[in-house]
Structure 1
Amino acid sequence: MKLKMNPKFPLYYQIYEDLKQKINAGEYRIGTQLPIEHDLIAQYRVSRITIRQALQLLADEHLIKPEPGKGTFVLKKSPTKKTQKMIGLILPGLLDSFGNRLLQAIEQEATNRGYLLIVRFSHGEQITEQKAIDELLALPVDGLILEPSQVTAQNSALSARIMAGDPILIVDKELTGIRSLFVSTDHAAGALAVARYLADRGQKTVRVLTYLQISNATLEKRQNAFQQIFGSNCIQPLITTTQVNWDEPDHSEQDIDRIKQLILEQKPSCLVGLDSHLASLIIQAIWELQLVVPRDISIFGFDSGANYRFNNYSYLAQDEWQIGKQSVDLLVEKIDNGHVTQSRILIPAKIIEHESIAKNIDSDGLSIEKNMYF
């Protein structure tokens, strides 16, 4: 048997769909054994790796189970079409600085559109995220919104479905190497505007605090923007703690000590935290050194620090409500029509000033209007 090739879908995905259809039709009954790998290769006239990829997708949905030394057995049929429309949502977690309002917007818009929202949290863990993806796709949900924990897709079923054009939308952190529906803040433009804002106010020795290991595209875009304006030396990868992995040991005291050492040795005019957790560590270090903001040092952050003790710093605010609403709108357009007029939406951010940036420029220099959008 030779499948009629559809260039829109990978060959292994077409074989996976064909086998699933045969399971649902009863050609391969529950409890019986699928043809052995050698027979499937001959049947579909494809390579061993292609057959294994197709079988892995069926296993990911728990429709089949390989038993070493015995064969691969059918566990169940793919769930029948449900009456309740559902959207799945996977987030790393909820923070006052980013996440809470996003979830509220997605839930409200999904309800307005007649969809039940099913929410799972990955806590920034790849294994937990993969399990949530498999669970929601196997329900099956009509569409899926994912804020990934990593820059690359780790789930084969997810990658195959995205490439096949299924209604799956990535929010906030773009996956590399896969073109998907995507809604996010325009992180690159926003960060570049912030870097220019600081330069226009005479900030020359800017130091950007970031993590020792960066695993998402958002922070990379923010870093790159500052490097364009202030050079590569401005980036300081010092921090080990994160704001999403709540199960890890708290090493924030060591991080704060490293920030204090940087301040004393390099004497920067301004410190920038690439997210609200980093900004909170910077503020704590400044407080312990008994420095006054902005007289002694300036500070700028990304996302508000509303969930921290000290939160009165200037920052770049994301429009979570628009991100959430447009994510649902775009996903439902894909579900209803099978295609979209625009697959990628970037939402402007805005600078919120809290007088934490010293203005060290001449009187005829450029001033920045408060709350300008970028």
Structure 2
Amino acid sequence: MGQIPLYQNIVNDLKAKIETGKLKSGDQLPTEADLSKKYNVSRITSKRALSELENSNLIYRVQGKGSFVNPSYVSTRSSSKEHKDILLILPFTHNPGLGDYEKGINEYLANTDYTLNIQSNTIVEERKLLKSALHSTNSGVIFYPVSSICDLGILYQYYLSNFPLVTIDKCIEGIPFLSVTSDNNDGGYLACKHLIENNHKKIAFFSSLKVENSSSIRGRYFGYLKALHDNNLIDYSVNDLNDQYLTHDNNNGKEYYIKFIQSVIEEGITGIVTENDLTAIEIIQISKELGLSVPDDLSIVGFDNINLASFIEPKLTTMSQDFCQMGYLAAQSLIRLIESPQEHLRDNIVVSVQLIERQTVKKL
């Protein structure tokens, strides 16, 4: 991945200030010398940045007087958009339950003049969508990352450009975007504690992704570990099992799940905390195929409380995330970033989770 040119950093920064209204129609821009000093670049670089802005019709230049925000650009941009657009980027459209993010966002936007657009992506398409959105006319972006460590280069350009962006579900490693997440640590803790309170002594944590790659899964895993520690269960052999089976290559599919479940039974493990409901449901279904009973042979706690969790047999005990509330708070935060960029909001928002007791945990 190539490094962003120095002049482009200046272009992105000034463009963002013009588009957010921090630099208004007719305002004078800093001189080439001032830009060179502020961004620690050469005069040639700052001159190139101003030329790029002029070529894009964002500014006009007056010999001997300086550079100014182009009124025609501002008026054209505002009149061409009867409604202000917010873009929601969500992964995996087949994932049930995520639609409630959209519901919460629209509930907040209903009393504004902003309109929601939605694009779905996979990890392959994510960078392409992000690059396109950065140069679009969207007022801001609500972004559900596939991973906490992917596409850091393009996301850092958002940060350098002061482009309004709020993440949901996960934080981005090393970039201080405002985020709205569930209380994953508490969720992992409560899920594991529920199993402990039902007299389970050997409890495994199951994830389809590496915990270091996802801030949400990492939080759930740490909460699980803390519950074990608080109840003096940290030294059980479940830790060796986690080292070996915590993550897997998704391409292994069903074969991996079979090996995992067989190893759990061999180790005498009776309880499993999963990363989410979909993996919990997969374990339940394959356990049945292996002739095992949930919860008689294995007790399982999921995470998300998707619609399917209450329809499978047995009905899944899980941690409920308030997707609607998260969407609402993400929209509220994004509009504040757009309309009051000087506030520099950077305090992450954490939404409480709730244990939903159903049928997949047995009291031993």
Sort the TM-score into its range (normalised by shorter chain). Answer: 0.7 to 0.9
Corresponding residue of 2:224: 226
Q: What are the residue-to-residue correspondences of 1:265-344 with 2, within 5 Å?
A: 265-304=266-305, 306-307=307-308, 310=313, 312-338=315-341, 339=343, 343-344=347-348
Asked if the contact 2:12/2:160 (under 8 Å) is kept, the reply is no
Residue 149 of structure 2 is aligned to residue 152 of structure 1:
yes
Q: C-alpha distance in 2, partners of 1:314/1:18? A: 51
TM-score in terms of structure 2 length? 0.72
Task: Give the drift of 1:257.
Answer: 1.6
Task: Give the drift of 1:291.
Answer: 2.3
Corresponding residue of 2:83: 84
Q: C-alpha distance in 2, partners of 1:353/1:18? A: 52
Task: Give the drift of 1:307.
Answer: 3.9
Q: C-alpha distance in 2, partners of 1:83/1:269? A: 58
Asked if the contact 1:12/1:51 (under 8 Å) is kept, the reply is no
Whichever residue aligns with residue 94 of structure 1, its letter is: T
| Residue deviations 1:182-217 (CA, integer Å, cap 9, x gap) | 111111122122222222222111011123644211
Q: What are the residue-to-residue correspondences of 1:25-174 with 2, within 5 Å?
A: 44=36, 46=40, 80-81=77-78, 82-95=81-94, 97-125=96-124, 128-152=125-149, 154-163=151-160, 165-174=162-171
Q: What are the residue-to-residue correspondences of 1:246-265 with 2, within 5 Å?
A: 251-265=252-266
Task: Give the drift of 1:111.
Answer: 3.6
Structure 1: runs of 5+ lacking an equivalent: 1-9, 23-39, 64-76, 242-248, 361-374
Q: C-alpha distance in 2, partners of 1:202/1:21? A: 58
| Residue deviations 1:104-125 (CA, integer Å, cap 9, x gap) | 2223432432211121112233
TM-score in terms of structure 1 length? 0.70
Task: Give the drift of 1:181.
Answer: 1.3
Task: Give the drift of 1:142.
Answer: 1.0
Residue 348 of structure 2 is aligned to residue 348 of structure 1:
no
Change (3 A) 1:234 1:345: farther
Asked if the contact 2:12/2:161 (under 8 Å) is kept, the reply is no
Task: Give the drift of 1:259.
Answer: 2.5
Task: Give the drift of 1:315.
Answer: 0.4
RMSD (Å) for aligned C-alpha atoms: 3.6
Task: Give the drift of 1:354.
Answer: 0.7
Change (3 A) 1:292 1:257: closer
Q: C-alpha distance in 2, partners of 1:88/1:182? A: 16
Task: Give the drift of 1:18.
Answer: 5.3
Whichever residue aligns with residue 276 of structure 1, its letter is: D
Q: What are the residue-to-residue correspondences of 1:180-191 with 2, within 5 Å?
A: 180-191=177-188
Task: Give the drift of 1:347.
Answer: 0.5
Corresponding residue of 2:24: none
Structure 1 or 2: more helix by fraction: 2
Asked if the contact 1:97/1:276 (under 8 Å) is kept, the reply is no
Q: C-alpha distance in 1, partners of 2:272/2:301? A: 6
**Greater length-normalized contact order (CA 8 Å, ≥ 6 residues apart):** 2
Asked if the contact 1:153/1:159 (under 8 Å) is kept, the reply is no
Equivalent position SS for 2:280? helix
| Residue deviations 1:295-345 (CA, integer Å, cap 9, x gap) | 222111112354475461200010011001111111112222222677321
Equivalent position SS for 2:359? coil
Q: C-alpha distance in 2, partners of 1:95/1:317? A: 19
Structure 2: runs of 5+ lacking an equivalent: 1-5, 19-31, 57-72, 229-233
Corresponding residue of 1:32: none
Equivalent position SS for 1:272? strand
Asked if the contact 1:205/1:269 (under 8 Å) is kept, the reply is yes
**The 10-residue stretch of structure 1 (299-308 or 327-336) with the greater mean CA deviation from structure 2:** 299-308
Q: C-alpha distance in 2, partners of 1:239/1:305? A: 23
Change (3 A) 1:268 1:145: same
Equivalent position SS for 2:246? strand
Whichever residue aligns with residue 148 of structure 1, its letter is: P
Change (3 A) 1:351 1:212: closer
Asked if the contact 1:299/1:357 (under 8 Å) is kept, the reply is yes
Deviant stretches of 4+, over 6 Å? 19-22
